[in-house]
Amino acid sequence: ARVLRTSFIGKHVVYKETTDSTQNIAISLADRSDSHGTVVIAEQQKSGRGRQKRKWLSPKGGIWLSVVLKPGIPTAKITLLPFVAALAVCDAIKNATGLDARLKWPNDVMISGKKVAGILLDISAEADQINYAVIGIGINANVDSAAISARLDGTKITSISDELGHSTSRLDLTRSLLENLEHYYLEMEQQGVGTILQKWKKRSDMLGRKVAVVQNNNKIIQGMATDINDDGSLLLKTDVGDVNVVSGDIHVRY
């Protein structure tokens, strides 16, 4: 197998057959001085997490991993890290499988309108100093999406094997993912968020469409998704004017 062409992401890999959550292991390693780029990967997770304490089902056959990063960027810019990760996942799926993966704000990766991968960010920061960021990535690679779906609340989901009609190489996909992640991460550190957001927008079919943003309190804001702002918030044009939606506890329907 070809070696991993990265300079820091994946130089240290922790592999588990089964764990509660790779995110928890990565957080427990993050304070070490040499943890930058450490990858924690598991065959299955017993308590995989989504955002806002939602569950992430993680049976065998998927790609469930977390990456420790110590970004040299201002704390305010850390909200862009999930966009970097989503971009890396999207390109890895395209490169490794040929499938037409698309991005949905704030950090979902979709194939034909169904969620194939999700991103989670945990950070530790003081004032304007980031101690560490742990980015969690879950990809439904070779899993039965109908079986996962049956245990969920109606979210439309898919997997790479279901889309292809056969299984895919998780090794190739993971390698491509980690290489892309390092590439886009360095691009963000060196060139700022502008080019990352441009690329993100190119891979999204959401801008220019009418969307409904469902908030935590079940309030719904409808409008036209017109842009992603530099802080990663979504610009909505509504009947009562422009609204900036931050990626808190909300989800978006087209």
Q: Which residue is nearest to ligand BT5 (CB)?
A: 118
Residue 153 lies near ligand BT5 (rule: CB under 6 A): yes
C-alpha 48, offset from chain centre? 14
Residue 50 lies near ligand BT5 (rule: CB under 6 A): yes
Positive or negative, the CA dihedral 7, 232, 135, 75 is positive
184 vs 207: CA distance, rounded Å? 22
Residue with Cβ nearer ligand BT5 (67 or 197): 67
Residue 45 lies near ligand BT5 (rule: CB under 6 A): yes
Q: Which stretch binds ligand BT5 (CB under 6 A): 54-62, 74-82, 223-231, 237-245?
A: 54-62
**Structure tokens of 236?**
């909505």
Instruction: Please give the C-alpha separations between residue 102 and each of 69, 200, 205, in angstroms, as whole numbers.
Output: 25, 9, 7
Residues 106-145 that bind ligand BT5 (CB under 6 A): 115, 118-120, 136-138, 140
Task: Tell me how crowded residue 242 is: count the other CB atoms within 10 A of its CB.
Answer: 11
Strands laid side by side in the 39-45 sheet: 13-19, 39-45, 63-69, 129-139, 114-126, 108-111, 101-104
Residue 51 lies near ligand BT5 (rule: CB under 6 A): yes
Residue 155 lies near ligand BT5 (rule: CB under 6 A): yes
200 vs 219: CA distance, rounded Å? 27
Q: Which stretch binds ligand BT5 (CB under 6 A): 75-83, 152-160, 161-169, 212-220?
A: 152-160
Beta-bridged to residue 237, according to DSSP, are 224, 242
Residue 96 CB, nearest distance to ligand BT5 (Å)? 18
Residue 250 lies near ligand BT5 (rule: CB under 6 A): no
Residue 157 lies near ligand BT5 (rule: CB under 6 A): yes
Residue 17 lies near ligand BT5 (rule: CB under 6 A): no
Residue 65 lies near ligand BT5 (rule: CB under 6 A): yes
34 vs 161: CA distance, rounded Å? 36
Residue 36 CB, nearest distance to ligand BT5 (Å)? 18
**Structure tokens of 130?**
């980031």
Point out which residues bind ligand BT5 (CB under 6 A). 21-23, 45, 48-52, 54-58, 64-66, 115, 118-120, 136-138, 140, 148, 152-153, 155, 157
